[in-house]
Structure 1
Amino acid sequence: MNRRFCTIVSFIITGFGIYAQELITVEKAVELALEHNYGIKVANSLVEVAENNTSILNSDYLPTVTGNAGATYNLDNTEAVFANGEVTNLNNAESSRYNASVNLNYVLFDGLGRRYNYKSLKEQYQLTELEARETIETTLLQLFSVYYSVAQLYENKKVLTQTLNISNDRLKRSKYQFEYGQVTKLDVLNAEVDINNDSINLINISQELNNAKRDLNLVLGNSVLKVFDVETEVNFAMLFNKEELLQKAIAQNVILQQADKNILINQYELKTGKSEYLPTIGLTGSYGWNENNNNAAAFLAVLTNTGFSGGVNLTWNLFDGGRTLTRVKNARVNLQIQEIQKEQLLATVKRDFENAWDDYQNKLTVFKIQEENIITSQNNFDRTSEKFKLGQVNSIEFRQAQLNFINAELSRNQAKYQAKIAELEVLRLSGELLNTQI
């Protein structure tokens, strides 16, 4: 029964990994995410819309030209009474009128309102770019988190595979020793229980690995069509200067830069509101054609007019019930709110940076300690294995040494990738995530 179970386990594990053909490096994963991630695609589309809004065609600086045309047809019965008493009737008298014109309107001056609106649209475009950058940074951090989760599970699977192999060897040795009377049946049963537990752990970790790969592929916009593996090597940038990164966080953090843009946009909104105190001067022009085909009762049978017309008009809203004044006051208050929020964001970014820096340093230290612990656990397991082969320790002591070594390796793997994610969070807060070789 145990042999059959091991065969099933081997088939399942092989099925999970035998088709791994493509290696997705960190650089390749970033490239795929930037090109295919759904959130990044939406952010780039919003940037395109904001760029379209900054066009001269959306600025109100260009004139408007309209065309008009019309036609009227009349069928009348007319009775005319003259001074001498004579009466004349005109039945079914037809008449028609036709007209066409092209009209131009252009605002020469509107109190500089459209100028500030146009500048605000440009700042809105840059704000949308910053929002897209924030989306990219957040997505990349999510990408790295899932990517290194896959890498950790992959290394954990290797550890558990090795553990299962050791347990298989131990079971064979226990069976041989039992046949020659060197151990009791209890040792064989203990070995079978341990190998079953190791097999179950390996099945579970294999399923977790495949689930994590699907999560990674989703972040990549489902762009990987083949079964793939990831890199497990991690490099740390050890030359960070805390004060330099803090200054970069203050100058380059995308949240703070968005706050600066919002302040500038509110300043333009305040100026736009004030522009409504000034008059608007407009230019109008028209070229038209009119033709009247009169009935027999008219003095003129056909009357046609063509020509140009033009003019200048001034509109000055002397009093609008106080709506403009209220709008200006609210714009000034909104500007003050944006400045207060900028101060709060600055304090928050400094706090988050300090927390992220300490977290990174602590996790990097834990990783180094775990690496040293691996050496100790390896030596302890090797010595226990030799003593176990010589019959100097029992299976329980051997299993404990094996579990200690397994836990040390799993803890080392976890510490390594947690330290890397903590490093990336520091880079994100300092605005350097997109400028640093990961």
Structure 2
Amino acid sequence: MKLISLYSLFLLLVFVPKIQAQEVLPLEDALKIALENNYDIKLAKNELKVDELSNNIGNAGMLPTVSATVVNNNSILNTTQTQADGSERTLDGARNMNLTYGVGLDWTVFDGMRMFARKEQLNILQKQGEAELKLAILTRISDVYLNYFDLVQQQQQLAAIDTAIVISQERVNTAQNRYSIGKASKLEVLNAQVDLNSDKSLQLKQQELIKTAKIRLNEILARDVQTDFVVTNEISVDEQLNYDELKSAADSQNPQLQAQLLTKNSAEQQLKQVKAGRYPTVRITSGYNFTRSEASLGFVTQSSGRGLVYGINASVPIFNGNLQNRNEKIAKVQLENANVTLEQQKRSLESQLNSAFASYATNLELTKVEAKNLEIAEQNLDITLSKFKIGTITPIEFRTAQQNFLDAKVRYSNAMYLTKIYEITLKELAGNLTF
């Protein structure tokens, strides 16, 4: 029986029933579940809502404040008054009352342009929230991709091991048949059985790795970690990635770089707010008040009034203990740090892009080499299996050919997986990892 026939029979009798018994989780569905359920994305969305709610002209200090006030002061005093003619008037328990109530408006119309810098800073904070949300989404998409294709790779390796078990079982059957007709020794049967058991042991270890990978992916999807499923069995690689295009996209789209650029812009606006402390502050006040007062002793025992009150208040800072100079120096240092960090982020991004692209290109070529090796190993195993059945090669030679096929299958799967990892990494760095 040819290897291709054995492999097809294995898929039909073993793998297909398992797929039918388990939920098949396509990559697109896994990504959708992660975007809907992932905790980090939910937190980032809520943080962005806070930034959006905070970004308004009122929070920047551009609008007036209107307030209603009520002041009611009362007193009970033992009072003695000396009149102009020298006579005295005395009253124990004299009651006095002053009541004021009304509506007032207070509006800062100029504060050295601080309010405008504050509004621009609020805009930047909102954009930072958007960049952080994008980063959270990209990170989770990347996590899903990496863990999903790790599971695909593990399934492929399990399929290769299962194929080796089918072939080992065929070898055991052949050895037993040859032994029963006196053409092989008992030792050949025992060796074949030992190799079959070794393959089964490897199968159990691989099944454990798959279970662990499923638990990890379920955790990322924020669902029951015991949920059982299978993934598709193919890894497709984008072979058309171009470094210059990735570099250009990363400069304009990488969320970490954009967040750091916004941090620098925010530091610039903070410096403007601090410098505004050198300029005058002008406030307008107005209101409509009602007043009433009562006194038990005095020339006026009762009075009341109502009407408009207004005024203007201007203050010019002259000296505040040198705090203004200190605060400006601190703001300038913080801006300098933001610029340094931005340059550091740019160099780090460029380094990561170069390193990942070099690994991507190497593994892309490696997949082509391993594909050829796998084809050769498959042909070699077909020929070896035929020769083994007619007794023209030794069991050791057959086992070597079988192991070479298994190794070639695993190496090819690993090469495809690593190439996919670097493809995902490059797209994540470029800020265009989507589904």
Q: What is the TM-score when the length of structure 1 is the normalising length?
A: 0.88
Letter in 2 for 1:260: L
Structure 2 CA distance, aligned partners of 1:80 and 1:138? 81
In structure 2, what is the equivalent of residue 413 of structure 1?
413
Is the CA contact 1:20–1:229 (under 8 Å) kept in the aligned structure 2? no
Deviations 1:147-192 (A, max 9, x none): 1111111111112222222222322332232232222121222122
In structure 1, what is the equivalent of residue 147 of structure 2?
146
In structure 2, what is the equivalent of residue 366 of structure 1?
366
Is the CA contact 2:216–2:225 (under 8 Å) kept in the aligned structure 1? no
Please report how far the alpha carbon of residue 92 of structure 1 lies from its aligned counterpart in structure 2 after TM superposition.
Answer: 5.0
Provide closer, same or farther for how the CA distance between residues 214 and 303 of structure 1 changes in structure 2, counting only shifts above 3 A.
same
Is the CA contact 2:80–2:89 (under 8 Å) kept in the aligned structure 1? yes
In structure 2, what is the equivalent of residue 356 of structure 1?
356
Any idea what SS the aligned residue of 2:311 has?
Answer: strand
In structure 1, what is the equivalent of residue 8 of structure 2?
none
Please report how far the alpha carbon of residue 310 of structure 1 lies from its aligned counterpart in structure 2 after TM superposition.
Answer: 0.9
Please report how far the alpha carbon of residue 144 of structure 1 lies from its aligned counterpart in structure 2 after TM superposition.
Answer: 1.2
Please report how far the alpha carbon of residue 304 of structure 1 lies from its aligned counterpart in structure 2 after TM superposition.
Answer: 2.3
Please report how far the alpha carbon of residue 414 of structure 1 lies from its aligned counterpart in structure 2 after TM superposition.
Answer: 1.0
Between the aligned residues of both structures, percent identity stands at 28
Q: How does 1:126-165 map to 2 (within 5 A)?
A: 126-165=127-166
In structure 1, what is the equivalent of residue 210 of structure 2?
209
Q: Does 1:114 align with 2:115?
A: yes
In structure 2, what is the equivalent of residue 25 of structure 1?
26
Provide closer, same or farther for how the CA distance between residues 78 and 165 of structure 1 changes in structure 2, counting only shifts above 3 A.
same
Please report how far the alpha carbon of residue 361 of structure 1 lies from its aligned counterpart in structure 2 after TM superposition.
Answer: 0.6
Is the CA contact 1:20–1:227 (under 8 Å) kept in the aligned structure 2? no
In structure 2, what is the equivalent of residue 198 of structure 1?
199
Structure 2 CA distance, aligned partners of 1:129 and 1:177? 72
In structure 1, what is the equivalent of residue 172 of structure 2?
171
Structure 2 CA distance, aligned partners of 1:360 and 1:395? 40
Q: How does 1:420-431 map to 2 (within 5 A)?
A: 420-431=420-431
Letter in 2 for 1:65: V
Is the CA contact 1:289–1:306 (under 8 Å) kept in the aligned structure 2? yes
Letter in 2 for 1:219: I
In structure 2, what is the equivalent of residue 319 of structure 1?
319
Provide closer, same or farther for how the CA distance between residues 341 and 161 of structure 1 changes in structure 2, counting only shifts above 3 A.
same
Is the CA contact 2:218–2:227 (under 8 Å) kept in the aligned structure 1? no
Letter in 1 for 2:53: N
Structure 2 CA distance, aligned partners of 1:35 and 1:84? 88
Structure 2, unpaired ranges of 5+? 1-13
Is the CA contact 1:75–1:95 (under 8 Å) kept in the aligned structure 2? yes
Structure 2 CA distance, aligned partners of 1:369 and 1:323? 69
Is the CA contact 2:275–2:328 (under 8 Å) kept in the aligned structure 1? yes
Structure 2 CA distance, aligned partners of 1:142 and 1:219? 7
Any idea what SS the aligned residue of 2:99 has?
Answer: strand
Please report how far the alpha carbon of residue 391 of structure 1 lies from its aligned counterpart in structure 2 after TM superposition.
Answer: 1.2
Please report how far the alpha carbon of residue 411 of structure 1 lies from its aligned counterpart in structure 2 after TM superposition.
Answer: 1.1
In structure 2, what is the equivalent of residue 343 of structure 1?
343
Any idea what SS the aligned residue of 1:313 has?
Answer: strand
Any idea what SS the aligned residue of 2:107 has?
Answer: strand
Structure 1 CA distance, aligned partners of 2:284 and 2:384? 97
Provide closer, same or farther for how the CA distance between residues 74 and 241 of structure 1 changes in structure 2, counting only shifts above 3 A.
closer
In structure 2, what is the equivalent of residue 47 of structure 1?
48
Q: How does 1:371-382 map to 2 (within 5 A)?
A: 371-382=371-382
Deviations 1:270-318 (A, max 9, x none): 22222111100001123222333433x4444432232221100001111
Structure 1 CA distance, aligned partners of 2:146 and 2:343? 30
Letter in 2 for 1:314: A
Q: How does 1:77-96 map to 2 (within 5 A)?
A: 77=78, 90=91, 92-96=93-97
Q: Does 1:71 align with 2:72?
A: yes
Provide closer, same or farther for how the CA distance between residues 27 and 99 of structure 1 changes in structure 2, counting only shifts above 3 A.
same
Provide closer, same or farther for how the CA distance between residues 301 and 340 of structure 1 changes in structure 2, counting only shifts above 3 A.
closer
Is the CA contact 1:293–1:303 (under 8 Å) kept in the aligned structure 2? yes
In structure 1, what is the equivalent of residue 397 of structure 2?
397
Which stretch shifts more, 57-66 or 284-293? 284-293
Deviations 1:54-77 (A, max 9, x none): 123311111122332243444455
Any idea what SS the aligned residue of 1:158 has?
Answer: helix
Deviations 1:198-221 (A, max 9, x none): 222111211211110111111112
Which stretch shifts more, 281-290 or 223-232? 223-232
Any idea what SS the aligned residue of 2:278 has?
Answer: coil
Provide closer, same or farther for how the CA distance between residues 348 and 94 of structure 1 changes in structure 2, counting only shifts above 3 A.
closer
Deviations 1:365-424 (A, max 9, x none): 111111111110001111111111111122222222111111111111111111111111
Any idea what SS the aligned residue of 2:58 has?
Answer: helix
Any idea what SS the aligned residue of 2:148 has?
Answer: helix
Please report how far the alpha carbon of residue 344 of structure 1 lies from its aligned counterpart in structure 2 after TM superposition.
Answer: 2.9
Please report how far the alpha carbon of residue 261 of structure 1 lies from its aligned counterpart in structure 2 after TM superposition.
Answer: 1.7
Structure 1 CA distance, aligned partners of 2:28 and 2:311? 64
Any idea what SS the aligned residue of 1:318 has?
Answer: coil
Provide closer, same or farther for how the CA distance between residues 333 and 73 of structure 1 changes in structure 2, counting only shifts above 3 A.
closer
Structure 2 CA distance, aligned partners of 1:63 and 1:258? 33
In structure 2, what is the equivalent of residue 3 of structure 1?
none
In structure 1, what is the equivalent of residue 244 of structure 2?
243
Provide closer, same or farther for how the CA distance between residues 262 and 76 of structure 1 changes in structure 2, counting only shifts above 3 A.
closer
In structure 2, what is the equivalent of residue 7 of structure 1?
none
Deviations 1:335-364 (A, max 9, x none): 233333333332332222221111101001
Letter in 1 for 2:327: R
Is the CA contact 2:219–2:225 (under 8 Å) kept in the aligned structure 1? no
Q: CA RMSD in A?
A: 2.7
Q: Does 1:269 align with 2:270?
A: yes
Any idea what SS the aligned residue of 1:359 has?
Answer: helix
> What is the aligned residue count?
421
Is the CA contact 1:40–1:132 (under 8 Å) kept in the aligned structure 2? yes
Structure 2 CA distance, aligned partners of 1:81 and 1:371? 115
Please report how far the alpha carbon of residue 255 of structure 1 lies from its aligned counterpart in structure 2 after TM superposition.
Answer: 3.0
Q: Does 1:287 align with 2:288?
A: yes
Letter in 2 for 1:120: Q
Is the CA contact 1:108–1:283 (under 8 Å) kept in the aligned structure 2? yes
Is the CA contact 2:215–2:226 (under 8 Å) kept in the aligned structure 1? no
Letter in 1 for 2:33: L
Structure 2 CA distance, aligned partners of 1:357 and 1:83? 100
Please report how far the alpha carbon of residue 119 of structure 1 lies from its aligned counterpart in structure 2 after TM superposition.
Answer: 0.2
Letter in 1 for 2:123: K
Structure 1 CA distance, aligned partners of 2:244 and 2:19? 48
Q: Does 1:388 align with 2:388?
A: yes
Any idea what SS the aligned residue of 1:57 has?
Answer: coil
